[in-house]
Amino acid sequence: MSELFKEDRNKFSYAFKQQIMKAWQPVPTINSSLLLFSTLSVIFLSLGIALIVLSNQIVEVSVRYDSQCGRVFYGNNYLEMINSPNNKCTVEFQVPSKLKAPVYVYYELDNFYQNHRKYVKSKNINQLQGEDVSVSQLSDCAPIIYYSDLRKYRAIQQTSNTDGFKDTDIANPCGLIAASYFNDTYVLKTNNGSQTKEISNQDIAWPSDKKENLINQKLNNGQMLKMVYINILL
């Protein structure tokens, strides 16, 4: 064989390629197996006890208020409740133990399928990032493409130009996700109403969404899109 094709058998590359590297193949015994499983049992048992103790320290209070504040129906009752500025109610509940900061407030919706394929794809990424897009690029936003669709979906009885937009203007942002804006607000007070607990909405979004994916556009009339859109929805 030519010297060019010879390979030093003492080199690591030769042993690696030929799969003749030295290996350690331990043979478990009764004592080693007992020691291994006993050690793992102690470790995981300690972690389990710690997690149970921390979990028991969490205080969770769930309050359903639709039965006390009135259910929302479609039709005239639905329109009346949505458009009424005095649609407020007071719900009393008791906290079983003292809550330590921070205290998180969540809302829960029933029969709301946010993972449905049609709902998830009903948006336009370029528009959300602050770009001007044409109607031909908004096919995924259906059925919410124009402001007339937005008003109809939100059951808002408004005519054109009352909010500064025409029915033929492009909804910005468009799509079902943007249109299904949850606008219930909460105020927490003590039992005698003398002290109000402020609920902060800071740092509840991913930094990437705030800086890149969701851009608050400035419109031609100088208004910020966020404020205009909130006025339409509320």
Q: Which residues pair with 189 in a beta bridge?
A: 196
CA angle, residues 161, 167, 173, in degrees to nearest 5: 100
Q: Where do the domains of the chain lie?
A: 65-213
Mean pLDDT, all residues of the chain: 75
Predicted local confidence at residue 162, as pLDDT: 56
User: Would you state the structure tokens that stand for residue 220, as one six-digit string?
Assistant: 């031609």
Band the pLDDT of 39: cuts 50, 70, 90: very high
Beta-carbon-side half-sphere exposure of residue 52 (alpha carbons within 13 Å): 6
DSSP secondary structure letter of residue 197: E
Q: How many whole angstroms separate alpha carbon 188 and alpha carbon 20?
A: 71
pLDDT above 60: residue 152:
yes
pLDDT above 70: residue 71:
no
Q: How many whole angstroms separate alpha carbon 134 and alpha carbon 143?
A: 16
pLDDT above 90: residue 38:
yes
Average pLDDT over residues 208-221: 69
Predicted local confidence at residue 7, as pLDDT: 52
Q: How many whole angstroms separate alpha carbon 54 and alpha carbon 181?
A: 35
Predicted local confidence at residue 76, as pLDDT: 44
User: Would you state the structure tokens that stand for residue 130, as one six-digit string?
Assistant: 């602050």
Predicted local confidence at residue 40, as pLDDT: 96
30: Cβ–Cβ under 8 A, 6 or more apart, which residues? none
154 in Cβ contact with 180 (< 8 Å): no
Residue (of 70, 61, 107) closest to 90 by Cα position: 70
Q: What is the per-residue pLDDT across 158-181, written as a single tens digit (0 to 9) for each?
A: 444 555 677 788 888 888 887 777
Q: How many whole angstroms separate alpha carbon 178 and alpha carbon 172?
A: 9
Q: What is the per-residue pLDDT across 98-126, written as a single tens digit (0 to 9) for each?
A: 888 888 888 888 877 788 888 888 888 88
Name which residue leads in pLDDT, 38 or 135: 38
Predicted local confidence at residue 219, as pLDDT: 57
Q: How many whole angstroms separate alpha carbon 195 and alpha carbon 173?
A: 38
Q: How many whole angstroms separate alpha carbon 14 and alpha carbon 122?
A: 57
Predicted local confidence at residue 51, as pLDDT: 95
